[in-house]
Each structure stands twice: as structure tokens, then as C-alpha cells.
């Protein structure tokens, strides 16, 4: 499973990218607003830091302006994935971009029917929002399962990108359901490698090693 970081904070991205575990980055208007920075400058800086796909979202809701904004964002770097909403105009824009060889991330997916249309429109990624479905009493992980089943039957190239992740367990469950990617807040990547038994075991090993009086270097 690929792991994308869901943030527009450059320093966070830099600090995590050195691990070699980051496969891409996703941003959205809310994350850009939170960063307080210019969207074009931010996307360019992220693309210079990360070699994998960097999702940059259009803010237009009509087809013509989605195309204009998308082309502007795509011109920043080759690894930009244009992020469009799963609307009628968004799907139209997705088809245009994908036909031109531009990566597209279709976002705000809440049903397998929507996901089917996105795949047919040539989306590179489909982003089901599992946490937001859970918030309304639905089951976001069931949606991941449905989409991966449909895509495998018809051999679609669209990658399932689990979004709206609320816990480390969401990441694990999405992986078990066959999601290709999970986009996660930085805090969850850190939580994935932390475990109290790891800390205790390391402390025990180091205490025993100190007793030997040896050094490796």
C-alpha cells in the first residue's frame, strides 16, 4: 500500500519525506487555507520536495473554469495530480485531463456508483471519504471493499485512495480491504511506528548492552 501525506505544511512534508516512506502528498483548499500560503507557490515547493503524485485541487465548480484552473496547476510540475470533485462537471474535466495524459484525483466520493463513473472517466485516483461516511452512521470501509471489488472485476487502472482517515486502524483496515493508497495526516504516520512495547524492548536491550561495556564503533 502506498502512503500519501495529507497536508500543505512544507516543513512537515520535509521531516517525513526523509524516511523514504512517503509516496505522495494530497492537499485541498482547506489545507492550503490553514497553511496561510499561496497555493501555486505551495504546490511548487511540495513538488520539488516529493517525487510522487501531489494532488492540487481546483476551486472552480463549473467545467470551463475547472479546465483553466487544472491546466494552470498542472503546469507547475509533472507530478501534479489535478484534484476535481465528483460532480458532473468534475467528471467531464477528469475525462479531458486524463485524455491529455494528466493525472487526476477524483475526490469527495461517497458511493460505489460514483467510483464507477470516475474510473470510466479515466481517473488516476478515486478518493472515498471513509471517515465522513462513518460520521453519518454509514460504513466507509464497506465502500472501500465495494470499489476494490468492482475495479478488479473490470480491471480498471484507477487506484483506490482511502481518504478522511480518522485512525491508524482505518489505515490497516483500508489495506486489508485492498485500497491501493491511504492519504493520512502526518500524526498518524508517526503513530504507526510508535508502540510502548517497542520502547520497552529497546530500553531493555540498551540496559543489557551497557552492562557488557562494549562499543560497536
CA distance to 10, 176, 196, per residue, from 180 (Å):
25, 10, 29
> Cβ contacts of residue 162 below 8 Å, gap of 6+?
127, 128, 130, 144, 170, 171, 174, 179, 181, 182, 183
Strand partners, 183: 4
Supply the residues annotated as catalytic: 83
Q: Do β-strands 159-162 and 80-85 pair in parallel, antiparallel, or remain unpaired?
A: unpaired
Count of CB atoms situated within 10 Å of the CB of 21? 13
How many whole angstroms separate alpha carbon 65 and alpha carbon 89?
10
Amino acid at each position: 500500500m502506498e502512503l500519501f501525506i495529507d497536508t500543505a505544511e512544507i516543513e512537515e512534508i520535509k521531516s517525513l519525506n526523509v524516511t523514504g516512506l512517503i509516496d505522495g502528498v494530497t492537499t485541498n483548499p482547506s489545507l492550503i487555507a490553514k497553511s496561510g500560503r499561496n497555493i501555486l507557490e505551495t504546490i511548487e515547493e511540495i513538488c520539488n520536495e516529493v517525487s510522487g503524485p501531489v494532488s492540487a485541487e481546483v476551486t472552480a465548480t463549473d467545467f470551463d473554469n475547472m479546465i483553466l484552473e487544472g491546466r494552470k496547476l498542472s503546469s507547475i510540475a509533472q507530478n501534479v495530480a489535478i484534484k476535481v470533485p465528483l460532480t458532473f462537471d468534475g467528471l467531464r474535466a477528469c475525462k479531458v485531463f486524463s485524455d491529455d495524459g494528466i493525472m487526476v484525483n477524483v475526490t469527495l466520493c461517497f458511493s460505489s456508483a460514483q467510483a464507477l463513473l470516475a474510473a470510466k472517466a479515466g481517473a488516476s485516483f478515486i478518493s472515498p471519504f471513509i471517515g465522513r461516511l462513518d460520521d453519518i452512521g454509514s460504513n466507509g470501509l464497506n465502500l472501500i471493499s465495494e470499489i476494490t471489488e468492482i475495479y478488479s472485476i473490470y480491471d480498471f487502472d484507477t487506484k483506490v485512495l482511502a481518504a478522511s482517515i480518522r485512525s491508524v486502524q482505518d489505515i490497516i483496515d483500508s489495506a486489508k480491504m485492498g485500497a491501493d493508497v491511504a492519504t493520512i495526516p502526518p500524526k498518524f504516520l508517526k503513530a504507526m511506528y510508535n508502540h510502548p512495547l517497542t520502547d520497552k524492548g529497546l530500553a531493555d536491550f540498551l540496559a543489557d548492552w551497557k552492562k557488557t561495556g562494549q562499543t560497536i564503533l
